[in-house]
Each structure stands twice: as structure tokens, then as C-alpha cells.
Amino acid sequence: MQPILDRFFRYIKIDTQSDPHNEEAFPSTEKQWDLANLLVKELKDMGMQDVSIDKHAYIMATLPSNVAHKVPTIGFIAHMDTSPDFSGTNVNPQIHENYDGKDVVLNEKENIVMSADYFNDLKMYKGQTLITTDGTTLLGADDKAGITEIMAGMEYLIAHPEIKHGTIRVGFTPDEEVGKGAHKFDVDKFGAEWAYTMDGSQVGELEYENFNAAGGKVIITGKIVHPGYAKNKMVNSMTIASEFIHALPEKEVPEHTEGYEGFFHLHTMKGEVEETELYYIIRDHDMKIFEERKELFKKVADDINKKYGDAVIKVEVKDQYFNMREKVLPVMHIVDIAEEAMKELNIKPLIKAIRGGTDGSQLSYKGLPCPNIFAGGHNFHGRFEYVTLEAIQKATDVVVKIAELTAKKYK
């Protein structure tokens, strides 16, 4: 597994953090090109065909079929960027061999410890090679573990022509973490009948449902005057922002919801007396409830504007992606193949809804049905992110097995 570890480390040490506020640029950060250009070189070096990269850093490549009979072209996709929620600069991965299932000291100097009781999924990986951060950055397993698995899977298939497969397309995208990962993905050029994103978490995850998603921007305008003479004159935008926040359902937030429960998530807030900005994500699996959430978001602003007799609040809500379930249900055999692949590898499939989204949700609506498969990482978007080497290997094996099973089923 050393080559896989080396590959993963090469990728995570390249800072590819995307920027949600740079809406015009694509990709949103220039540094995503650093990984993109490396991947193009590696794809060519390993023998992949039709390797291309466009002006927006979308990468595509082909592993040609090695069978005579017609097999549907399938794809594997992962994203190159890391989350803007936490630093991806100077990632310094830590290896904990034969993990003992106990608390993990990430940074002794800063007293940063990952608790095995608090993050109890850790205990599933006792005895494995645990890869963590040093507590000062995220790790980047989301989704550089996915990239590693796809690259390693293609390399294995090239080295083992006795494993029969149809044509396989691979794709790597920018800006998934800021909701733009599939916006400029050319489905026709990709040319696959279906694909899989390698972007899930726990070993065994297989997902074809995800949130409907929107982003909400709230601008509150106040009036600044000298506080000593402010009576009946000052309008404090931060105070009104607090009213807005508390007018939304208190328990319908990420930290109090699970399963199919949706939420309003305030992820960024900045303000002064004269102006405050709030940035929300709005999520729900059920389309009807999703639409109701967006309407409630706007109604809260309308009610506050009526209270103050002025347009102190402006709200902008933009849809980001939708639940892929509707597009995958008519072609459920693509989920069945992935499930069978896991079972043949003695991996227990965990079929559940994603409490988030992947490029696959947008791609499914663009005509490329695209379920999501585990990449193996946990605690994404923060300092406690981790993955095991064994999980990356298992996901790589799934990529190879899906390719093999697809060729067999269409023989």
C-alpha cells in the first residue's frame, strides 16, 4: 500500500482550498491549478488516453476497453478543491500505525487531542494505519482520497490487463466545495452512460440521495451616529441580524438534526453598526419542505422590514443543487452494481442519504446519473479530519471491481 500512501500525500500537500466569495473566477482559486496540472501529467505517464484539461481546470481521461463485446462506458469522478471552512495550507499529515483505538494527540505543543469517545467512529479503525492532521489544518481526504482511489484503480487496471473491463472515463473537478463543481462539466464530452463520485465518508457508504440545497445571503443596513446621541436615531444592523437569526427555528440547525432532517446553517457572519452580512446554507431532502424553508427565510426578512418600516434587510436565495434520487431511481442497476462490488470484496454496503451534496447531484440532473461511493475519510472540513490507509485501499478495490463487474454483466 506504500504507493497509494505516497500518492495521497503528494495530493494533500498541495493547497487547493476554494473560495466561496470569488464568484466570477472559475476555478475560484488559482492554486487549484497546481494539483490539476500534476494530475494531467500523472494520467499521461501511467498510460491513460485522451487526457484533457480545459480552461476551467476540468480534467478528463480514458482507459480504453480491453474486451471485444460492447460494454457501457462508465465514469469515476472526484473533486480537487478542499473546503474553505478550514485552512488547507501546509498540510502536515501524521501517521499512526496500528492505531490503538484511543485518543489521538494531534499536536502536543498546542494540546490538540482527537477524542475517541467524542469521535467514536475512530474505534472502527482500531489496528489500521490512521492518517490525521497535525491539528492546524484540514487533511484533504475530502476529496483527495477519492482522487487517489481513482488514480490507483486506473493504474492497477493498466498493470493487470487480465481484468476485463469496458471503456472507463475519469473526471476531476474544481470548486465542488463552493457548489460549482459540476457547473461547467461537459457531460457530452465525458461520454459515459453513468458514473460514480468517490466522495463519501465511512467505508461501505453508497448513496443516491442527497439534500436539495440553496445558499442564502442576508444584508442588513443600519445607521451609525455617535452613541452618546443615538436615541431614536441609531439603527444597529448587528442587533437586527440577531433578530433574524433567532426568528428561524432554533433546533433546525446542523448540530440538532440528523438523517433526513433539514436545516438552516449560518456559516459566515460579518458586521458593524452600519452593515451586517449573514451567509446561510439551506438544506432538505424533501423538495416540498425545501421550498417551504426558502419561503420562511424570505418571510422572516419581510416581517422585520415591516417592523422597522424600512427595507433594512435584503435577502437573496439561490438554488445550488437538488436531490439526485429522482434521476437515479430509473437506473437503479447502477447502484446494484456498486453494491454487488462491495459485497464481493466483503465490504458491508451502507446505503443511506447524504447529509450534503456531491458533484453527482448536479451531474445527475445534467444527464449523467452519478451515485456516490465512500472515499473513507471522516470529520471533513476541519482539524479532526482523518482517513485510514486501509480505507483508501478498499475504495480503490471497489473502483476496480465495479469496472470488472460491469464488463461481466454486459457480456
DSSP of 309-352: TS--EEEEEEEEE--THHHHGGGTHHHHHHHHHHHHTT---EE-
Say if residue 317 is in the same domain as residue 327: no
Mean pLDDT of 43-56: 98
Report whether pLDDT(11) > 90: yes
CATH code of 24's domain: 3.40.630.10
The proportion of the chain whose per-residue pLDDT surpasses 90, expressed as a percent, equals: 94
- 400 and 333 in a common domain: yes
Q: In degrees rounded to 5, what are phi and psi of residue 261? A: -75, 130
Domain, as residue range, for 341: 2-210+323-409
Q: Span 174-187, mean pLDDT?
A: 93
Quick one: 84 and 191 in the same domain?
yes
What local confidence, expressed as pLDDT, does residue 359 receive? 87
The pLDDT of residue 356 is above 90: no
Taking residues 274-294, report their average pLDDT.
Answer: 97
Q: How confident is the model at residue 224 (pLDDT cuts 50, 70, 90)?
A: very high
Residue 179, pLDDT above cutoff 90:
no
Mean pLDDT of 9-19: 98
Q: What is the mean pLDDT of residues 137-147?
A: 97
Q: What is the mean pLDDT of the chain?
A: 96
397 is an active site residue: no
User: Which of 300, 321, 342 is the C-terminal boundary of a domain?
Assistant: 321
State mean pLDDT over 294-310: 94
Domain count for the chain, please give it: 2
Average pLDDT rounded to a whole number, residues 259-284: 96
Average pLDDT, integer, range 380-384: 96
Q: Are residues 375 and 236 in the same domain?
A: no
Residue 236: the pLDDT is 95
219 plus 303 within the same structural domain: yes
pLDDT at 18: 97
88 and 222: one domain? Answer: no
Question: Does residue 321 carry a pLDDT above 90?
Answer: no
- Among 288, 321, 354, the domain-final residue is 321
Cis bond before residue 27 (omega within 30° of 0): yes
pLDDT band at 390 (very low <50, low <70, confident <90, very high): very high
**Residue 124: predicted pLDDT:** 94
Per-residue pLDDT band for 118 (boundaries 50, 70, 90) equals very high
* Residue 97 among the catalytic residues: no
317, pLDDT greater than 90: yes
Tell me what the mean pLDDT of segment 369-377 comes to. Answer: 97
Residues 6+ apart with CB under 8 A from 192: 72, 73, 74, 75, 169, 368
| Spatial distance between the Cα atoms of 159 and 165, rounded to a whole number of angstroms | 13
Q: Indicate the pLDDT class of residue 311, thresholds 50, 70 and 90.
A: confident
Do 167 and 32 fall into the same domain? Answer: yes
Would the pLDDT of 47 be above 90? Answer: yes
Mean pLDDT of 253-282: 96
Out of 262, 286, 321, pick the residue that ends a domain. Answer: 321
Q: Is the pLDDT of residue 358 over 90?
A: no
- Our CA angle for 403, 405, 406, nearest 5°, is 65
d(CA 392, CA 398): 10
pLDDT band at residue 368 under the 50/70/90 scheme? very high
Q: What is the pLDDT of residue 320?
A: 86
Q: How far apart are CA 46 and CA 156, in angstroms?
A: 10
| Closest C-alpha to 169, from 325, 391, 363, 5 | 363
Grouping H, G, I as helix, E, B as strand and the rest as coil, residue 150 is helix
pLDDT confidence of residue 60: 98
Point out the catalytic residue in the list 42, 81, 205, 359: 81
Identify the pLDDT of residue 226. 94
The domain spanning residue 279 has which CATH number?
3.30.70.360
Based on the fold, state whether residues 340 and 357 are members of the same structural domain: yes
- 275 shares a domain with 340: no
- The reported pLDDT for the residue numbered 310 is 81
Question: C-alpha cell of 408?
Answer: 461481466
Q: Which helix (H) or strand (E) holds 132?
A: strand 130-132
Question: If you average pLDDT over residues 22-29, what whole number do you get?
Answer: 93
Statement to judge: residues 75 and 100 lie in one domain: yes
Q: How confident is the model at residue 151 (pLDDT cuts 50, 70, 90)?
A: very high
Is it the case that residue 246 has pLDDT exceeding 90?
yes
Are 122 and 96 contacting, i.e. CB atoms less than 8 angstroms apart? Answer: no
Rg (CA), the chain: 23
| SS3 (DSSP) at 37 | helix
301 and 365 part of one domain: no
Q: Per-residue pLDDT for 45 more than 90?
A: yes
Weakest-pLDDT range from 20-24, 197-201, 269-273, 301-305: 20-24
15, 134, 175, 176: the active-site residue: 176
Residues 103 and 149 in one domain: yes
